[in-house]
Amino acid sequence: MRGMAGRGHRGVAQGSSRLRNETTVSLPPVVSFDLDDTLWPIAPVIEAAESDLWAWLCERHPRAAARHSIESMRALRAEVAARFPERGHDMTFVRVHSLAQMLVAAGYEASAADRAFEVFYAARNRVTCYADVRPALARLSERRPLYALSNGNANLERCGIAAFFAGHVHAQSVGAAKPDPRMFAALAARAGVAPADILHVGDDPFADVDGARRAGVQAVWINREGRPWPAELEPPARTITSLEEIG
């Protein structure tokens, strides 16, 4: 296992060099970005959003809060996703449906779930981008149309970065989540280019990198934290540690 990881890191280093050499000459016609953990760290955002939601529930719907904890609410969402596999990619549906189930069980109206979700969603979109993100997006958006390609339900307007993007393709609208090739096909159709004319940048080896290349899209792995590449996957052709390395 360790030996395979070592070979992966050698491939990563070579790929990073190729990326810098290629992109300083030209970029593909379209560049797309994953959002969560690519443009901002998502764990602290979700933690804060769940805390805001929990405080709101304790104040406004105490009977529901008395039956649950933040941890049990996560378990309930997992149950809902498993019960509706055809909607499991839609994080908004999963959260609203699980909130409605929780509220109704405590004697409240199901419609309160929409208000509860808005409390969560407002905080979910209060993101803090990595330091390299806004300068890189500003620079790249002057050269190529940029698209967001995400499994999550972040809102570009609320996150304050919509001005950099020509569009946003997300799992909820496609009906599937990366690495499903339908996500990348939807992106190509939205951008009006062939898959090979897209450079996708993301942090997830399976969803972003392997999913993209299986769909015929150029892929870049952004590895900000020096994580090992999964041994079961072919090493990425291109790896970066910062968006400054693109273009």
Which residues does the annotation mark as catalytic? 34
Q: Is 154 helix (H, G, I), strand (E, B) or coil?
A: coil
Distance CA 51, CA 120 (A): 8
Handedness of CA 96, 99, 105, 111 (dihedral sign): negative
Distance CA 169, CA 148 (A): 6
Strand order in the sheet with 167-170: 167-170, 146-150, 30-33, 198-202, 218-222, 239-240
Nearest by Cα to 182 from 193, 196, 168, 195: 195
Residue owning tokens 């970005």:
33
Q: Is 220 helix (H, G, I), strand (E, B) or coil?
A: strand
b vs e for 209-236, b when ≥16 Cβ sit within 10 Å of the residue's Cβ? bbbbbebebbbbbbbeeeeebeeeeebb
Distance CA 228, CA 209 (A): 14
* DSSP-assigned letters across all residues of 158-182: HHT-GGG-SEEEEHHHHTS-TTSHH
Distance CA 37, CA 226 (A): 14
